[in-house]
Homo-oligomer: A and B are copies of this chain.
Amino acid sequence: MRLAELSARSGVSTATIKYYLREGLLHPGRRVTATQAEYDEEHLRRLRLVRAMIQVGRIPVNSAREVLAALGDDELGPGERLGTAVWALPHGPAPDEADPATESARHTADALLDRMGWARDKAERTERGPAYGMLVTAIVTLTRLGYPCAVDDLAPYARAVEQIAVSDLDVVERYATPDEQVEAAVALTVLYEPVLLSLRRLAEAEESIRRFGGA
């Protein structure tokens, strides 16, 4: 398809597509004349992912480029490609290692992962770096502000996301090829975050009314 059709089918303006091409977020089309190129379904799929990351996830162009590099790395297996891609997604500030509270938060995070049976050895935790670091940072903040964040407080959340991850991967497995699965996994990680956060607030309102009475 030509650029105009790629734009129509993706809902992304031709100016934005050209910007993504210049930034290397989309691989060049197959040149057919000096001024025209031909694009295919893979361009369309990639464009959706780029849009999910940049427009919805507000992920910086550099991080998006890193994610895409991991996805396109043929030397990695699907599991590794997914891990590397999710690793490249932004995760907020890393824990401040100079802060003594970080050490204690790390113990809480480790005790939680132990209880869940996740990432059993230390190397695995380092490998899952950014998400693990984001958890440690969140625990530091909760502790500092005096809000509950013991393992017993965190465990119900971990058990709930365990079910969410099963749904996430069920959706991913509907895609036919490993390439599509890895792309969908990254896009769904980003795109389902607002779904989760909004549903949580709706569920909280529901539960709050159940306990404390109507508004």
Interface residues of A (CB under 8 A from B): 11, 48, 51-52, 55-56, 77-80, 82-83, 86, 91-92, 113, 116, 118-119, 127-128, 130-132, 134-135, 137-139, 141-142, 144-149, 153-154, 156-169, 171, 173-174, 184-185, 187-189, 191-209, 211-215
* 20 other A-B residue contacts (CB within 8 Å) besides A153-B167, A156-B163, A160-B160: A83-B208, A86-B204, A113-B202, A118-B206, A119-B205, A128-B205, A131-B198, A134-B194, A134-B197, A138-B191, A148-B171, A157-B195, A158-B199, A161-B200, A162-B207, A165-B203, A165-B207, A169-B204, A173-B211, A185-B204
Query: Is there an interface contact between B169 and A199, defined as CB atoms closer than 8 Å?
Result: no
A104 CB to closest chain B CB, in angstroms? Answer: 15
Query: Is there an interface contact between A196 and B145, defined as CB atoms closer than 8 Å?
Result: no
9 contacts between A and B (CB under 8 A): A52-B147, A80-B215, A119-B205, A127-B215, A128-B201, A157-B196, A161-B202, A168-B204, A169-B208
Which B residues are CB-close (under 8 A) to A79? 208-209, 212-215
Which B residues are CB-close (under 8 A) to A199? 135, 154, 157-158, 161
Which B residues are CB-close (under 8 A) to A164? 156-157, 160, 200, 203
Chain B residue with minimal CB distance to A178? B212
Which B residues are CB-close (under 8 A) to A157? 164, 167, 192, 195-196, 199
